[in-house]
Amino acid sequence: MSQNNQKSTYDDNNIFAKMLNGDIPCHKVYEDDRTLAFMDIMPQAEGHVLVIPKQKAVDLSDLEPEYASAVLMTSKKVMQAQREVFEREGIIQMQLNGSQAGQTVFHYHVHLIPSSIHELGRHAATQADHEKLAEIAKQLAAVIPAS
């Protein structure tokens, strides 16, 4: 865990690294050779998805160009799926760099949240129902074309 004014070093045992290794499960929405998208278990709104690179990056400063590009391309696919499934145009794209900014998992990730900045729920606060997360993941995955 990083101190306020110091960048974390990459921890191979962080929760998202464990997901990438298949050591812990996630409600997968999309995967390709450079990225994985899955449901946030403490969503700030219904349909909150995280997109991560398959690269050991703590934050934006570590992200290699091909992974930066891949994360954005996957984010576009996920956002389009959220627009279709939730029948709303407004999707928040958020990304926190460092504990001072509120980052809590130190593997780079983009948040895609079907909400408004004026209605956003609390960050990483309340666990969602897993059956509901699984159902939403299925709905989103169904409208994303295979890569």
Active site residues: 109
Strand arrangement, sheet containing 28-31: 28-31, 35-39, 49-53, 110-113, 92-94
Q: Give the separation between CA 110 and CA 114, rounded to whole angstroms.
A: 13
Q: What is the DSSP letter of 115?
A: S
Q: Between 50 and 70, whose beta carbon lies closer to ligand 5GP?
A: 50
- Is 49 a binding residue for ligand 5GP by CB under 6 A? The answer is no
* Helix pair 130-142, 65-86: axis angle to 10 deg: 100
Contact status: 26 vs ligand 5GP (CB under 6 A): yes
Question: Residue count at the site for ligand 5GP (CB under 6 A)?
Answer: 14
Six token digits for residue 60 = 């934006």
25 makes contact with ligand 5GP (CB under 6 A):
no
Rule CB under 6 A: is residue 59 a binding residue for ligand 5GP?
Answer: no
Q: Is the dihedral of CA 67, 18, 99, 41 positive or negative?
A: positive
**Between residue 105 and residue 144, which ones bind ligand 5GP under the rule CB under 6 A?**
105, 124
Nearer to ligand 5GP, 120 or 144 (CB): 120
Residue (80 or 95) nearer to ligand 5GP, CB: 95
